[in-house]
Structure 1
Amino acid sequence: MAKVVLVTGVSRYLGGLFARRLSADPTIERILGVDVVPPRHSIGRTEFVRADIRNPMIGRIMAQAGVDTVVHMNVIATPKDTGGRVTQKEINVIGTMQLLAACQKSETVQRLVVKSSAAVYGSSPRDPAMFTEDMNPKSMPRTGFGKDSVEVEGYVRGFSRRRPDVEITMLRFANVIGPSIRTAFTDYFALSLVPVPLGFDARFQFVHEDDATAAMILATTGPSVGIVNVAGEGFLTVTQCAAIARRPILPVPLAAAGMIGSIVKRSGLADFSADQLTFLAFGRGLDTTRMRTVLGFEPQFTTREAFEDYVRYLRPAVPGVDGVGDVVSDAAEVTAAAIGRVFDRIQP
C-alpha cells in the first residue's frame, strides 16, 4: 500500500488535480510534488519540491523521503507548453530516463505508475477497430508526442526487466477532455472553423478529466494491473463533435491538411503534429475490457458526456448566434451524403 508518494508534473493541470485529490486519502502519509516551476493551483497537502526530473538529484529526493510509490504524470503532450519541440522531447524522454534510473537505484520504491497515452497505437487505415493492450500498431507514430510516448513505454519495460520486484501500472488514456484542461484537441474544437480531412469522418473516444484523475488514483492505491486502456464508453465522429460544439467544418483534402495544420499552429490557435492530423483522418478505437475487469474502473462520463461537458464551457464560434449547431448538423449531413455518393461511384 502506498504510504509516501512522489508525483511528477504537479504544476500542470492534471498533475495538480491528481495531487489535490490524492491528498484526500488519509492512508497516504506523505505526498511530494515535483516540478520545475511552482504550481499556480492548489495541490492539497502535497509538499512541493522544485526539481527537474532530468537532473540526477531526483534520486536524492526519493532517498531522503523514503518514497515507495512514484507517479509519473510529466509526459507533455504539446510542445507549446514547454517552449518548443526540443524541450518537450527532453522532458518526456530524458526526464523519464533519469526518473527510472533513480527508481532503479532506490531501495524503497515498490511501485511505479505511469500516465501514458493511446497515441502509442498510432493511427492508420489498416488498424483494427479496437486496440487491445497486447496489440501493436500497424504504423508507429513517427513524430511528436506519440513517438515520445512509445519511447517512454519502452524505457518503462526495460526498467521492469531490471527491477522485477517493482510493481508497474501504465494507463493508456484516450484523449482527455473537460471544462478546465487544455490540449491540442480542446484547442482544435474551439476554432471558429474546424478543418476536417475531406472524405473522412474519424471515430474518437474521450475520457473526462475527472475520470482520468480517478483512474490514476485507483492505479496508485489499488492493486498493480500492468498496462490498461482507459476511455469513456462509446464513440463520436469528427463531424458529430463539430455539431455538438456548434462549429462549422471546412473539408480539406488530406494532402493539404498538413499545410492547414501548419497555418493554424503558427497562428497560435492550436498545436498539431503530422500524427495528430493523421488521427483526424483515421481515428482510433480502444478496447476497455481490462479497464473494467482488471483495474476495476468504470468511468462516470461516456465519450459523448465528456465532450458535452467540455462544450458546456466553450465560447460560441459566432457570439450571440444560437442556431449554429443546427446549421453545422445540416452541413455535416450534406457533406456525408455527398462523400457517400462519390464512394458509391468509385466502388467496383
Structure 2
Amino acid sequence: MNRSPELKVGFGMINEIILQPIRSILLRTSLEIGVFDVLSDFTSSIDVSKRLGTHHDNTRYLLDGLASCDLVEKNNQMYRNTEMSRLYLVSESANYMGSYIQLYQRSLIDALDDLTEMVQKGSIPSPPKVVDGSYDEFEEYVKALASAAKGGTARIAARIVSQQPEFPTMRRMLDIGGGPGIIAMAIVDPHPFMKGVIFEQPAMAEVARKNISDFGMEDRMEVISGNFLTDPLEESFDLIWTSFCLYFAKHHLDETIKKIFEALEPGGIFISLHEGLNEEGTKPEILVLPNIAMNMNGHDTAFESGEIVEAMRRSGFSDVRSRPEDSPFGEVEVVIGKKE
C-alpha cells in the first residue's frame, strides 16, 4: 500500500473560512428577529421562543450557535447576552451596531452573490448608493453611520485630537464629510471653547442639524451643506478632520488636500483617518475583503499606506507624520500634517 505523503500544512484555515458565513447568517438572523433584546438576563430557550413567537427547537439551535460564537452565554440550559452583545447588539443600547451590521452585510456581502458572474464577465449594476444627498434607504443608512461613529470612531477621533499639542488653543474645527455629526461633536465637546463646523451634502446635513439640537450643542456647532469636491471651503480653521470620506476624492486627491491646506489658519493641523493597505494591496484582510464587491463594480477607492502622506506633503503640509491605529473596523492609518 502506498503511503500518503506527509502534509506540512493542515486544512484548519480552509475549514475556518467555510464556517465564517454561518456565523454571519446567525448574527443577521438574530438581529432581524430581536434575539439579543430578550437576553438581558439568563432565559430558557422556551421563554425566548415564546417572547419572539418562534419555533422552540430551532430557536434553541440558533441560541446554541450564538453561544458557540461567544455572542451569548449558556449555563444550565439558560442563555444570556455576553458583555459585547449587551453593548452592541441590543437595540436599546446607545452603542447599538445592528443597523451598521445589517447594511454592511447587504451592501458588501450580499453583493457577492454574483461573484462568479462578475469575475467571468465584468461588473454588474451597483447597489443603491448615496448620490447628491439621496439614498433609497436613507434613514437606515443614517442609522448605520451613527452606529459606526458611536461604536468607536467618535471616541478614537476625540482622543487623537485631544492628544495634539495644538489642542488647548484650537478655536474652530471643520469635519469634512462629517455624516450625522457624532464625530465632530465628540471632538468639540471636551474642549472649553472650540466650535465646530460639519460640511455635508444637504440630506445628511439636515440629520446633523437634528443631532446637534438633540445633544444641545447649537451654540458650538454649525452645519454647512455642500459637496467638498466641487464647492469652496470656508477658511480660518485650526483643525480640519476627515475620516473615511476622502475615497470620493481619490482620483483628484492633491487638488482636494490643497483646498484643505488653504482652509487652515497658519499653525493649523489636518488629520486624516482612513485605511492604509499594504503588502501590494492584500493586507490587512479586514479592510481588503469588504472592498471586493465595490472594486469589481468599478469603485476601487481604497488608499495604499502612505498615499495620503505623500499627497499632504505635495500640497504644502510640513511635519507630516502617520501611525497605525486600531479601530473596531480594523487597523487604520492616522495622518497628521501642519500648515506652517
Same fold (TM over 0.5): no
TM class, shorter-length = 0.3 to 0.5
Q: Normalised by the size of structure 2, how large is the TM-score? A: 0.35
By percentage of residues, which structure has more helix? 2
Q: Normalised by the size of structure 1, how large is the TM-score? A: 0.35
Computing the radius of gyration from Cα coordinates, the structure with the larger value is 2
